[in-house]
Structures are given as structure tokens and as C-alpha cells.
Amino acid sequence: MLPHRQPVFSRAAVIPFYIIAALAFFLTTVLCLFAADVFVGHFFQPKALALTHLFVLGCGVMIIFGASNQLIPVISERKLYNERVLPVLVLGLLTVGTSLLVYSFWNFLFTWYTFTGVACILTAILLHSLNLYSALKKAEEKAMLSLIKTAHVWLIFTAIIGSMLLINFRFPFLSVNHLQYLKVHANIGMVGWFLQLIIGVSSKLIPMFLLCEEPKEKQVFHIYYGINIGLVLFMINQVFFHSQLINILAVLIVITAIIFYGRYVYSSYLHSIRKQLDNGMKQTRLSFALLVLPCILLLPLFVVSDMPANFSLAYGFSFFGGFVGTIIMAQTFKTLPFIVWMQSVDENELPAKMPKDFFNEKLVRVQMLLYIAGLLPFVAGIVLKYAGLCYAGAALMAVATSIYFIHVLLIVRKKFANV
């Protein structure tokens, strides 16, 4: 028996998330090509802020929201609170809010539409989190449940701090240097939301894709406690104590949790039935390898007080562009074909095609090779303050994401063509 098909209206709220996310990814790399010289300077610049939020909200959060609308109910075997209206509302609010915020940052203008955008984004995040909660609260996998629920709490907290910083630009009220809060905003978004959410979902999906027995939940809980203890310690220290020793301890705790997760993934592979990995899983493995780069940059940034500002940019770009960007590209071709397949076949009939028939494996490989060929020189250009490398890297990444965007559209087209 095939998985139960969702109502038609709710299905329309899953695939558009992927399309908009792929478009935002492509636009981010194109704009990086036109603004590559920005990345050899300080991280607090209008265009750098605009590009970061275009990728984070328009691509990262967008695709996670869309995928979770369909995959979380499948993983947890529980329904969303509302499958019809709320996903569509969240899609519209997040798209409008991101567009207004990115425009504001790019032009460094803080007017009524800036705060309208912020209100839209906050509302979208709250509605999505509440909608997902009903599917998560009774899930059997307690470790996965803890990671995903806590990640959403950090996302809400990230959005609130970001809103507070924007209000402070227009109506100054913070007594502490806003850059202190900006570091908190960025790192809880990166570690508390993205890293924790990815670990939570992949702790279920990776063993599923590799056809292996899931490692003990106790291992996942060790990762969960490590990430959150380190993050809370960092946040409290950043706001109140400003101790280098506490920063070092917090960073080491988080890195230890990441190492534990690396062992978890490696253990899953060792005990897998499917030893021959497809391109999607190979690239997922590559994304976790790329996580080493921001980890290397993380410690000196919080240990050495006068590290050059471009190292902060390199750290952020290697995390978002490297780890998050590559895992998005990889997992798109593990999840989107599955979603299209689920929505295209009759649950009472034997399907003529399987998810792997909805995309081109060679094309997945080509787009990833081009992306990595652009990513590495781009990060090197940031570290070395050499704009030429950034321009060359951005050009290759733009080509890769254009292929990725077209590939996503081709998969969606097959759904509507009933192929």
C-alpha cells in the first residue's frame, strides 16, 4: 500500500516552496557575482546582509518548511494541525516578508515596508511551528522530536533577536553594542536552527536511505545536549560576561557534538545494506565533510578578540554556502522526487515509475561538481581578501545553481505532465 495522498490544496503548498527556494538560491549566487568585492571587507555591510538573508530565509528556511510539511507527517506518522490553509499562508507570508527585508538590506533603508516584512516573517515562522507541533508532539522517536522541536524554538528566538536589532537601527534603545547581539542572532540561527534541524531530520532519513538499523537514540541525545548546552553557554556569555574562556568552552562543546554526529553518520554507513551510494547520498556525505571548514574557523573567531572581520564572513559563508547549500542541493533530489512520486501515483495501483525516475543522476553530479569548484575559491578569496577569486567562484556557483533551478522545474513539470 502506498502512502496516503494529501488533499489537492495542501499538495499545492509543498512543491512551490521548492521552486521559490531554488530560485532564491540561484538569485543569491548571481547577486554574489555582482557584489563579490563586498566579501573582502567587513561582514556588516548592506549587500552582505541582504545576500545572507536572501539565502537563509528565501532558500534555507523556505525549502525546510516545504519539505517538512510533507516529510514530518510521514516520519512521525502524525498529521499536521492544518494541511490546507496554513501551509499556503506561510508560503505567502515568508515570500513577501523575505522580499521586503532583502530589498531593505540591499538599500539599507528601514521604513514601514521593512517592518512589514519582519512582521510577515515572524508570523510565518510562528504559524509553521504551531502547525508542525501537532505532528511532533506524539512522535515515537524522542531524540528526533527533541532536536526538531528545539530547533524551531531557536528559529523563533533568532527571528525575535533579528527584529529587535532592526528596531534598534530605526529607534536606538540597546545599551550594548548591537554587534554583540548580531553574533548571538547569527550563531543561534546557524547552530540552533539549521545545524540542529538538519541533524534531527537526517538522524531519521540517513538510516532510512541507507537501509540500516537506526543507531541507539542515546547517541542522538548526546548530540542534542551538546549543541544546546554549548549554545546556551555562548549566548549567556556573549550578552553578560564576555569571557574568552567561556567562549572556548562553548565552542568545544558544540564541536564535540558535531564529532559525535559524524560518528553517528559513519556508524549508519557501516551497518547499511546499501553500500553503493547514489549521487544524492554522496553529496550529503560531502556536505558533512564541508562542515569541518566552519568548525576550523569557529574556534579562532571566539578565542582571538582581534581576528580580521573577513574571517567572520568566511565562517558564515562556509557554513551557509558550504554545509547548508550542498546539503540542500543533495537532499532536494532525495526528497522532491519522493514527494512528486507520492503525489502522482494512485495509492491502490502499482506505480510504473519510482522516485529515481523523476530526475537525472548525471545532472545532479555535474551541478554539484560545478558548485564545489566555485565554493572553494570563493571562500579562499574571502580569507585572502582577493576579489578575483570571489568573482570566479561566484560565476561557477551561479552556473551550478542555474542548473539546479532548471532541474527542480523539470522534476515538477513531470508531475503535471503525469510522467
Place of cell 499562508: 89
| Class of CATH domain 8-416 | mainly alpha
- The pLDDT-based confidence of 33 (bands split at 50, 70, 90) is very high
Instruction: List the beta bridge partners of residue 212.
Output: 272
Q: What are 365's three cell numbers?
A: 553530479
For 380, phi then psi, to 5°, come to: -60, -40
Q: How many CA atoms lie within 13 A of 242 on its CB side?
A: 7
pLDDT digits (tens, 9 = 90+) for 299-340: 787 767 677 778 889 999 999 999 999 999 999 998 899 888
Question: In this predicted structure, what is the pLDDT of residue 4?
Answer: 43
**Rounded to whole angstroms, what are the CA distances from 358 to 72, 136, 282, 350, 352?**
22, 29, 18, 16, 12
SS3 per-residue string spanning the chain: CCCCCCCHHHHCCCHHHHHHHHHHHHHHHHHHHHCHHHHHCCCCCHHHHHHHHHHHHHHHHHHHHHHHHHHHHHHHCCCCCCCCCHHHHHHHHHHHHHHHHHHHHHHCCCCHHHHHHHHHHHHHHHHHHHHHHHHHCCCCCHHHHHHHHHHHHHHHHHHHHHHHHHHHHHCCCCCCCHHHHHHHHHHHHHHHHHHHHHHHHHHHHHHHHHCECCCCHHHHHHHHHHHHHHHHHHHHHHHHHCCHHHHHHHHHHHHHHHHHHHHHHHHHHHCECCCCCCHHHHHHHHHHHHCHHHHHHHHHHHHCCCCCHHHHHHHHHHHHHHHHHHHHHHHHHHHHHHHHHHHHCCCCCCCCCCHHHHCCHHHHHHHHHHHHHHHHHHHHHHHHCCHHHHHHHHHHHHHHHHHHHHHHHHHHHHHHCCC
Q: What is the pLDDT of residues 238-283, one digit of tens each?
A: 888 888 899 889 999 999 999 999 888 888 887 777 667 778 888 8
CA 319 to chain centre: 10
157/138 Cα distance (integer angstroms): 24
Q: How confident is the model at residue 179 (pLDDT cuts 50, 70, 90)?
A: confident
Rounded Cα distance between 336 and 67, Å, is 8
Quick check: 378 pLDDT over 70? yes
Could you give the C-alpha distances from 368 to 206, 325, 371, 399, in angstroms and in order? 19, 10, 5, 10
- Beta-carbon contacts of 350 under 8 Å, excluding residues fewer than 6 positions away, are none
The confidence score (pLDDT) of residue 141 equals 65
Phi, psi torsion values for 408, nearest 5 degrees: -60, -45
Phi-psi region of 14 (alpha: psi -120 to 50; beta: other; left: phi over 0): alpha
- The residue length of the chain stands at 419
Question: How do residues 107-156 score in pLDDT, each as one tens digit?
Answer: 998 888 899 999 999 999 999 999 998 778 766 667 788 899 999 999 99
Three cell numbers written together for 207: 538510516
- Tell me the backbone φ, ψ of residue 304, rounded to 5 degrees: -95, 120
Contacts of 39 (CB under 8 A, 6+ apart): 32, 48, 310, 313, 317, 378, 381, 382, 387, 390
Q: Render pLDDT for 272-297 as a digit per residue (tens, 0 to 9).
A: 776 677 788 888 889 989 999 999 88
Tally the C-alpha atoms within 13 A of residue 28's C-alpha that lie toward its C-beta.
Answer: 31
**Per-residue pLDDT, 400:** 97
pLDDT of residue 418: 54
Map out the domains of the chain as residue ranges: 8-416
Structure confidence at residue 316 (pLDDT): 93
Buried b (16+ CB within 10 A) or exposed e, 143-154: bbbbbbbbbbeb
- Answer yes or no: is pLDDT of 1 > 60: no
- Among the listed residues 303, 301, 324, 305, the one whose alpha carbon sits nearest the alpha carbon of residue 383: 301
Question: Among residues of the chain, what percentage have pLDDT more than 70?
Answer: 91
Q: How confident is the model at residue 158 (pLDDT cuts 50, 70, 90)?
A: very high
Q: What is the pLDDT of residues 34-79, one digit of tens each?
A: 999 888 877 788 999 999 999 999 999 999 999 988 888 877 777 8
Residue 204 has pLDDT above 50, yes or no: yes
